[in-house]
């Protein structure tokens, strides 16, 4: 179930925890911007890395996609 939460595009607050919740659009937007990747690439990285922990996904993106 998706929660509908107000999201201000100018505000880039860190999500409450260090897990990437792909069901929350604002988290996908935040982490995509933070890692410098598209939302599609972020989703792919979470799936391929088999982790939703932000630090692990970031490492995976840097090594796999050489950003």
Whole-number pLDDT of residue 13? 57
Residue 16's contacts (CB-CB under 8 Å, 6 or more residues apart) are none
Whole-number pLDDT of residue 1? 44
Interval 4-34: pLDDT, tens: 454 555 555 555 679 999 999 999 999 999 9
Interval 32-66: pLDDT, tens: 999 999 999 999 999 999 999 999 999 999 999 87
Residue 5's contacts (CB-CB under 8 Å, 6 or more residues apart) are 24, 26
């Amino acid at each position: 179930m998706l929660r509908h939460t107000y999201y201000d595009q100018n505000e880039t607050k860190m999500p409450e925890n260090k897990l990437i919740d792909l069901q929350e659009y604002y988290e996908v937007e935040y982490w995509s911007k933070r890692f410098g990747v598209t939302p599609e690439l972020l989703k792919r990285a979470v799936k391929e890395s088999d982790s939703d922990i932000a630090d692990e996904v970031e490492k995976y993106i840097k090594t796999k996609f050489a950003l």
